[in-house]
Structure 1
Amino acid sequence: MAIRKSTMQEQVAAAIAAIEPNDRPVTTFHTVTGPSPWLTQQFGLIGQLFVKYYFVTLTHRVVVIHRASRVSNRPLDLLHVIPLDQARASIGDVRRNTLWSSLRFQIPGEPQPTRLNIHRYWRTEMDAFTGGLLGGGPGVPGQYPQAQAPVPGQYQPAPGQAPYPQQAPGQAPYPPAQAPGQYPAPGANPYQS
């Protein structure tokens, strides 16, 4: 059972490397869906029936969502691979709170944006995710202005190494055969065309 944040992030990175060895996570956080965690805790085991656990990962190419185990905190199934342009349009209503922060994210196949609840333990990763995806870091709680400084915790390639081939200006970060709004079949390699 993974308890440490670094162990969980390594497991997610290994799951992504198994799919696409050339892609590396920028940041990963663990999240719980559903209504406020305060409310679901009041209902105990019955409240747990209404929540789902995910790992959300921002890489240099895509946003990857894995289903997380309720017991062992391991990444289980690859659910979605979302191109960065589409992910930028899918995020909204970011709220930083003392214990449980939240954001709304339009998960493919869901009729409405899903509320992702992020515990304070993962707040730095949530800030890196929103900052990396939207291009800025947190200034005022709940607001993410544009910033030029690198986001704390963001992946920095080793000096002299380029982990990904350079893209031409205007080139989409996803394979050309995959049009925006189309997703690979579960279990298929989302990085191959």
Structure 2
Amino acid sequence: MATGLVSLRHLATRTSAITAKPVFVGAGVSIRSFATSQPQDRKQAPQAIQNWDDYFKLRAKRRNYERICCIPSSITALGAAGTYFTQLEIDPLHTVFGMEALPVYGMATVLAGFGGFLAGPFIGSGVFKLMNRGATRSMDHLDRVFYEHIKKNRADARLNSIRNPVPDYYGEKIKSVSDYRSWLRKQREHYRKGVFGGKLDED
């Protein structure tokens, strides 16, 4: 299938320089499993996204949508709450939760703005799906596939410490195939340092 999604086996060939010596992390999962697991993904995945580079570009674009939408959602929620509370008549003798009404209304306005900020990523994700309808199913599928590889290949969290924190545990900083190669190497370094107390390039 020439126009199909690039298989994980093909991606593994490109990362063979890093994964030549498989290091087992977590519950006996090899870092090399990104190459060998789920070879049927290309047949099952929708064909809107042609390769992993395209996926990472769309993933970064979606994240930008989510971040940008945090601004208008926060301002809208803050403005709506502020407008509502400023129209209320404040009785000096009336208390809310045992406190004066004015500071309570102020805190409620701030909380509303914070709630709008938290809702921003969900709104941004929805806008992204509307603007990229042809890639929605492919993105959902590859999100699941990518996260499965992150879970299988990341270092054991039990080796986490102040001096040796797990690098990018959820793979949020991965923005390209080269970033994924670097991420794999960091997981191996973390495992090596946590178990043997040394770096990857030390013999």
Normalising TM by the smaller chain, what interval?
under 0.3
Higher percent of residues as helix: 2
Higher percent of residues as strand: 1
Larger Rg: 2
The TM-score, its normalising length taken from structure 2, stands at 0.22
With a CA cutoff of 8 Å and minimum separation of 6, indicate the structure with the bigger relative contact order: 2
